Structure 1
């Protein structure tokens, strides 16, 4: 299977003129289809695509991992560059009024655009909680079951309903699964519902056990030391061959993981390209 994965937006940038920006956007290119997972926070995905000579007009579908601003804020720029109608696959909950509640302050962290504006730019939203098969070898997870005992959703993430708030279960959290024939490649947005929960579900959906690579945000930025070590143990038990961390993994967790995985570990920042 011919496959190229390019990280267009991430907190940190590679050499040259690449732009780093809090958020994530990863382009998956195959002979069958080009899929963009998330669009970053604002201009970085388009800027870095230009540097790499990537034509975003060749993207066939967009998948949104969840409805936070740092994964959807680049939609206006990306759609403007594509200049065509494009299917955007996401969960219905992506349009919820999502907030972060810290130290008594509620801060809006949801999509920064109205749906009508994006549709006017060519967005054709396919909203479903179910897994979506894009090609014979690429699919989305849909809603990810919470099965591990040590992974939990941040308590400071809430959804506004009327005049009140409720905990955000982030049911819209999803990942992209690629079956390379040599094992799965699982591309994460933020893994809010747990990186290990996500990998277990990817195996369940595909019936494929070997995991060649995990790439993207692992959301360990606020994890306890115990959770980080339990995650490392589970990744080793799963036999993950390569681990490229990004975005919300957090530097403290990444620095613990790096020596545990040795040469299999890498920082997946803006400008990184991986060819299969």
Structure 2
């Protein structure tokens, strides 16, 4: 099985750390309007918060071909992460006119509260059972313990039973998977010319656990987890539930969508390339986790060095990338940078000239 090509991928930032109402739209980035019918739109404006959530729409070749013949275009619509406040995603979705019942499934990048807090409110807006796909470690009870060993705090955690009562059909997977409107399939890349990918259904790749191969991406050293038997705190620096979404745009290459990239954005890109056998990276969007001082900022320069080697067409650093790292990307790779802002929709197509 290979990662099927798709013609179009749209990524709407429902929650991100930044908002800039004055950014102009481009052929790739559509910004939310400020005016309608010669009037400034009333409040509320888009909400920015320290969190992440994206709505991903994907269409395949046969779907697009069907539309040209007068048939309806079927989109696979995925919600990736749910923000850090109870109603941030809902508020921004209302501005954009998004109907949550159109979502086929919800994927969590990992089990940190700045990526799942809005989930219960979102489930209340969905009038059907909905798949919630995540790594099993997303349900761990975790703590932050600072280097002095005295200052610590328990992190909010996901309650599996409560989510199920709210209509979530929980699917936990450690290994790479293909996801479409109707199914979740095991993913295994095979270099075999006789294998024909089924492009009739738009599909995305969920990486599952990401191998750590770099020396400068060190995870989250302050994190500990509760032992389920003793309740003792055990070091949990790797954030093994961290995962990303990968799409294969026809004629362009891979798009990699990360939540926080606790596994490291370079490790994430490398794994996407290894899984698919595709070396060309078209775009990388999401959190790169290069803020927070210490080891995170120490990783900025080696990350930029590796990004230069990987040579993606576009870089869209969001959420936990941080101003220092973002500014370095702008300085060193200005032609690749696209500025994120809450409620922006980035659309990548196979026939784009960019």
TM-superposition CA deviations, 1:214-239 (whole Å, max 9, x none): 00000111345542111001011011
State yes or no: 1:217 paired with 2:287.
yes
Counterparts of residues 101-250 of structure 1 (less than 5 Å): 101-102=145-146, 103=148, 104-111=150-157, 113-135=158-180, 137-161=203-227, 162-168=230-236, 169-181=238-250, 182-222=252-292, 223=295, 225-250=297-322
Q: 1:86 is matched with which residue?
A: 130
TM-score scaled to structure 2, two decimals? 0.75
Query: With CA pairs under 8 Å and 6+ residues apart, which has the higher RCO, 1 or 2?
Result: 2
Instruction: State the distance in 1 between where 2:297 and 2:92 align.
Output: 34
Counterparts of residues 65-76 of structure 1 (less than 5 Å): 65-76=109-120
| Contact kept in structure 2, 1:7 and 1:273, CA below 8 Å | yes
Between stretches 181-190 and 215-224, larger displacement belongs to 215-224
- Report the structure, 1 or 2, having the larger helix content: 1
Give the deviation of 1:28 after TM superposition: 0.6
Instruction: Show structure 1 runs of 5+ residues with no match.
Output: none
Are residues 73 and 241 of structure 1, via their aligned partners in 2, closer, same or farther at CA, if it must alter by over 3 Å? same
Q: 2:15 is matched with which residue?
A: 9
Are residues 14 and 123 of structure 1, via their aligned partners in 2, closer, same or farther at CA, if it must alter by over 3 Å? farther
TM-score scaled to structure 1, two decimals? 0.95
Are residues 246 and 107 of structure 1, via their aligned partners in 2, closer, same or farther at CA, if it must alter by over 3 Å? same
Q: 1:260 is matched with which residue?
A: 332
Between stretches 187-196 and 217-226, larger displacement belongs to 217-226
Q: 1:24 is matched with which residue?
A: 52
Are residues 2 and 224 of structure 1, via their aligned partners in 2, closer, same or farther at CA, if it must alter by over 3 Å? closer
State yes or no: 1:40 paired with 2:83.
yes
Give the deviation of 1:93 after TM superposition: 0.6
| Contact kept in structure 1, 2:290 and 2:297, CA below 8 Å | no
Give the deviation of 1:108 after TM superposition: 2.2
Instruction: State the distance in 2 between where 1:237 and 1:171 align.
Output: 26
> RMSD of the TM alignment (CA)?
1.5
Instruction: State the distance in 2 between where 1:137 and 1:126 align.
Output: 17
Give the deviation of 1:29 after TM superposition: 0.5
TM-superposition CA deviations, 1:12-54 (whole Å, max 9, x none): 2242500011110011102341111100112111110110111
| Contact kept in structure 2, 1:92 and 1:172, CA below 8 Å | yes
Number of equivalenced pairs = 275
Instruction: State the distance in 2 between where 1:199 and 1:48 align.
Output: 29
Answer with 1 or 2: which has the greater Rg.
Answer: 2
Instruction: State the distance in 2 between where 1:57 and 1:40 align.
Output: 18
- Indicate which of 257, 269, 273 corresponds to 2:341: 269
| Secondary structure of residue in 1 paired with 2:18 | coil
| Secondary structure of residue in 2 paired with 1:100 | strand
Between stretches 183-192 and 97-106, larger displacement belongs to 97-106
Are residues 53 and 196 of structure 1, via their aligned partners in 2, closer, same or farther at CA, if it must alter by over 3 Å? same
State yes or no: 1:251 paired with 2:251.
no
Instruction: Show structure 2 runs of 5+ residues with no match.
Output: 1-6, 22-33, 35-44, 60-74, 181-201, 349-354
| Secondary structure of residue in 1 paired with 2:79 | strand
Q: 1:58 is matched with which residue?
A: 102
